[in-house]
A and B are shown apart, each in its own frame.
Chain A
Amino acid sequence: MHNDSRKIADEIILRSGVNPRRCMKCGKCSGTCPAYEEMEYHPHEFVYMVESGEVEPLLNSKSLYMCLSCFACVDRCPRGVEPAKLVEAVRNAYLRQQDNKHMNADDVPAKLDDDLPQQAIVSAFRKYRK
C-alpha cells in the first residue's frame, strides 16, 4: 500500500512539474489562501504530504474541490513551489484512478430507453460506476 502511495505521489510530482523539495515550510501559501477555512488539508500540507508520499488522505479529501485555483499561493511562494499546480495534479490523479471503474458494457443495455440520444449511449460506455 505504501509503495503504491509513493508511486502515485511521484506521478503527481511528474505531472505537475512541481518540485516539493524546494519548499522551505514557511507557510506563506496557507497564509495567503482565501479558501483556507473550507479546506481540511491546506496548501502547505499538500506540498508536505506529496513530498512524503502520503497521498491517500489527499485523494479522498474534499479539500481537492475547495481549492479555487486562484493561484495566490503560486504567485506568492518565495521558493517558486507552486502549490496550486500540485492540488490540480492530485485532483487529476484522483480522476485517473477511476480508470478501472468503468461501467461494465453488459450493464449498459439495461439502462437504455427509446428516448435516449445516440450520443448519450456512446458516452455511457465512458462513464464510471459511481
Chain B
Amino acid sequence: MQRIGVFVCWCGSNIAGTVDVQAVSEALKTEPGVVFFTNYQYMCSQAGQDIIIDAVKEHNLTGIVVCSCSPRMHEATFRKTAAAAGLNPYMVEIANIREQCSWVHKDMASGTEKAIILGKAAIAKVNLNAPLTPGESPVTKRALVIGGGIAGIQTALDIADAGFPVDIVETKPTIGGKMAQLDKTFPTLDCAACILTPKMVDVAQNDKIRIFSYSEVQEIKGFVGNFDVTIKKKARFVKEEICTGCGACVEKCPMKKIPNEFNLGMDNRRAIYIPFAQAVPKVATIDPSACNMLKNGKCGVCSKVCTAGAIDYTQKDEFINEKYGAIVVATGFNPISMDKFDEYAYNQSKDVITSLEFERLTNAAGPTQGKLLRPSDLEHPHTIVFVQCVGSRCAACAEKGKEYCSKICCMYTAKHAMLVRDKYPDTEVYVFYIDVRTPGKNFDEFYRRAVEEYGVKYIKGMVGKVTPEGNKLKVRASDLIAGKQLNIDADLVVLAVAIEPDKSARPLATMLTASMDTNDFFTEAHPKLRPVESPTAGVFLSGACQGPKDIPETVSQASAAASKVIGLLVKDKLKGNPCIASANELMCNGCSTCANVCPYGAITYIDKEFPMFDRTMQTRRVAQVNPAVCQGCGACTVACMSGAMDLRGFASSQIIAEVDAICR
C-alpha cells in the first residue's frame, strides 16, 4: 500500500474562487492510501514545495498527489520537488483542477464535486504508480552520412565543423551527386561546379571526414547512439591510397566504348575511369564488367602504365565495421524511367532528351564541350520544345508516373530556356506548361525574365505526341489559351522528367526501420515541427530523400539535419523517457502485431528460454522493447492481443483505476 500525501493548491483565487479547497482536501483524506492532506495558497512556490518536502519526510510518503494547475504547467516542478524530498519523481500525479475545472466551471458546488473526483482519480493512479528511472545509453561520437551529394556533403561538413568525426558512404566512385552534373543553378545562374567543387575539396581535406566512395551500406544494427554498421567497399581494383589520379591509365585503356554514366550515356568512357576532372576522391576505378583483364585476363595495360603501381586486379570487396551515434540519410533522387511514355518518343529518337541530359549538353565539361548540339547529328538545333510535368502530377497509373509535383522542373526549365535564348538568340524556344510554379526567393522574377527579356514562348497546354520524321521531331500539342492545336517541327525536345527517390532508399529504410511514404520518400518525425528527423530515433533526413527539393532547400535541410546530429552527439549519455512500453514475457506469444504497429521500430523479437512446469526449458519468441527507441505512444499496448504489452506511467491498470474512480 502506498502512503500518499494530497496537496491541494488554491492558486490564489484561481482555484479557490470556484472550488472549495478545504472541502476537497477533507473529502480526499478517506481515499485508500492517503495518510496526509493539506491545502496551501501557492503549491508551486518555494514555501509550497517545502510543505511537500517536509510532509514526505515526516509522514514517510511514497506517493504525491497535487491538485493544482495543468500537468503541462507544473508537473516538472513537482517532480523535481519529489526528487528533492528523496522520492522517485514519477511517484507524483497531478489532478488538473484549474484549467480543466475551476476556470471552466462557474458554480462552487459542481466545481468542488468535480475537483474531488479528479483528485480521486489521481489518487487511484498513484496507488498503482511504480518508481521509474529513465534508461541511459552511451553515445558513440561519430556520425554516418549515407549519400555524398550536396546534401550529404553539407551535412558532413557541418558535423565535422563541430568537431565530430563523420563518414560519408557513396555508391558512386566520387562524391558530388546530381549537383556535379548540373551546368548552372537557378535563379542566380552561377555555375554548379564553381560552387560545389570547393565544398568537395573541403570534404576531402577535412581530417574529421572519411569518404567511403564506391561503397554501400550492407547492414545496420543497433539504435540511437549505438548503431553498428557494416559498409561494403566494392573492389575498384585500384589502391585508393596510392593512386594519384594522374589519368595515364585512363588514356591508355583500350576499352573505349563504354557508355559514360556521368554524361548519361551521351558519350563514352574507358573501362578504367575517373568520372570527372574534379572527382573526389580523384582515384581511378576499373569497371569489372568492361575490363578485359578482369574478364579474361588479357590486357593489363593500365598496370603497366601506372608508375605508382596502384592497379590491383586481385582486389576483393572489403567489409568495414564501424559504430555510429547518428545516421543521416541523404540518398537523393533520380529522374524516372521514360519507358512507359511512348508518346514522347524518348526511346525512338536521340533528339528527345531529359532535362538532366540537357544539363550535360550545355555543360562545358559535357559531351559537346558546352556547345548545344543535337545528339543525333551534332547540328545546332533551331527549334527547341520543352515539355513540363512529364510523369509528374500523374495520377493515371502508378507504374507510369508520379502523383506529386517534382517541384524543381518549372525553375530549371525556365533556366534552360533562358540560357538557350541567351547563347543562341536565333533559336525558337517553346515551353509547354500546365502551371508554372515558382514559389521561392527571386523565382517568379526569374521566370518572368525568361518570358519578358529573353522571349521564351510559354504555352499553356500539353504536348500530346512527338513523332520523329526525317531529322525533325513533329510535336503535336494544344494551346489552351488560343484554343488551337499546334504542330511544331522541332529539332530538339527536352522533357522535364519527374524525379523519384533513389532505388537504394527502400532497402535502406528497411535496415533503419525508418518509415517511408507510398512514393518511397522518407517520412519525417513531424511534417511541420520535426522536418529533418525520421520517426526512428537517431536517424535524420537530408535532401531529396525526404521529398523533391532544389539546392538551397536541400542545403538548409542538410545543415538542419547536421545541427540535430550535433545536438545528439554532444551528449555523453542519452536519457530516455521512462514512460515506455514493456512486454510481459510470460504472456507474450511472439505474434509480431506490436512490432507492426510501432512507428519507431522499437520492438524486436528474441528467442528466450523459459522454465516450464515439468522442469524442462522451452524456447519462445518474445517481444523486446528498446528503451532508447520507444517514445511511449502506447499503440502496441492496444494492439497486443495477449495483453502482454503495457506502458509504464500509463499502465492499463492505472487508466482503468482512473476510469473507476471517475465513474464511482
Contact = CB atoms under 8 A, between A and B. Distances in A.
Q: Answer yes or no: A and B touching, Cβ < 8 Å.
A: yes
Interface of A: 22, 24-33, 36-37, 42, 44, 72, 75-80
Contact of A36 (B395, B434, B480, B485): B485
B389 interface: yes
Contact of B395 (A22, A28, A76): A22
Nearest to B391: A78
Given A78-B389, A78-B401, A31 B396 contact: no
Interface string B332-362: 0000000000010000000000000000000
B464 to A, nearest CB: 3
B371 interface: no
Given A27-B480, A30-B478, A36-B485, A79 B464 contact: no
| Interface-central residue, A27, A33, A75, A80, by most chain B CB under 10 Å | A27
Contacts of A72: 464-465
A76 B463 CA distance: 10
B394 interface: yes
Q: What is the interface of chain A mostly: helix, strand, loop, or mixed? A: helix
A60 B192 CA distance: 57
Contact of A32 (B343, B396, B401, B479): B343
A26 B432 CA distance: 10
| Interface-central residue, B395, B401, B479, by most chain A CB under 10 Å | B395
Nearest to A28: B462
Contacts of B462: 26-28, 31
A25 B433 CA distance: 11
A37 B487 CA distance: 11
B485 A80 contact: no
Interface in B448-463: 460-463
B401 to A, nearest CB: 6
A118 B478 CA distance: 52
Interface of B: 343, 389, 393-397, 401, 432, 434, 460-465, 476-480, 483, 485-486
B476 A32 contact: yes
A31 B393 contact: no
Contacts of A42: 478, 483, 485
Contacts of B476: 31-32
Contacts of B434: 24-27
Given A27-B478, A32-B343, A80 B465 contact: no
Given A25-B480, A31-B486, A72-B464, 19 more contacts: A26-B389, A26-B434, A26-B462, A27-B478, A27-B479, A28-B463, A29-B478, A30-B480, A31-B463, A31-B476, A32-B343, A32-B464, A32-B476, A33-B464, A44-B478, A76-B343, A76-B464, A76-B465, A79-B394
A72 B463 CA distance: 13
Contacts of A37: 485
Nearest to B463: A31
A29 B395 contact: no
A32 B462 CA distance: 9
The 4 closest A-B pairs by CB, nearest first: A32-B464, A31-B464, A28-B462, A80-B396
22 contacts: A22-B395, A24-B434, A25-B480, A26-B434, A26-B461, A26-B462, A27-B479, A28-B462, A28-B463, A28-B478, A29-B464, A31-B476, A31-B478, A32-B465, A76-B464, A77-B396, A78-B393, A78-B394, A79-B393, A79-B395, A79-B396, A80-B396
B463 A78 contact: no
Nearest to B388: A26
A26 to B, nearest CB: 4
A48 to B, nearest CB: 10
Contact of A30 (B389, B393, B395, B485): B485
Contacts of B395: 22, 78-80
B464 A28 contact: yes
Contacts of B460: 27
Contact of B393 (A24, A44, A75): A24
Nearest to A73: B464
Nearest to A81: B396
Contacts of B461: 26-27, 30-31
A5 B478 CA distance: 28
Given A26-B462, A27-B461, A72-B464, A33 B393 contact: no
A77 B397 CA distance: 10
A45 to B, nearest CB: 8
Contacts of A26: 389, 434, 461-462
A19 B434 CA distance: 19
Contacts of B480: 25, 27, 30, 44
Nearest to B397: A80
Nearest to B392: A78
A79 B486 CA distance: 22
Contacts of A79: 393-396
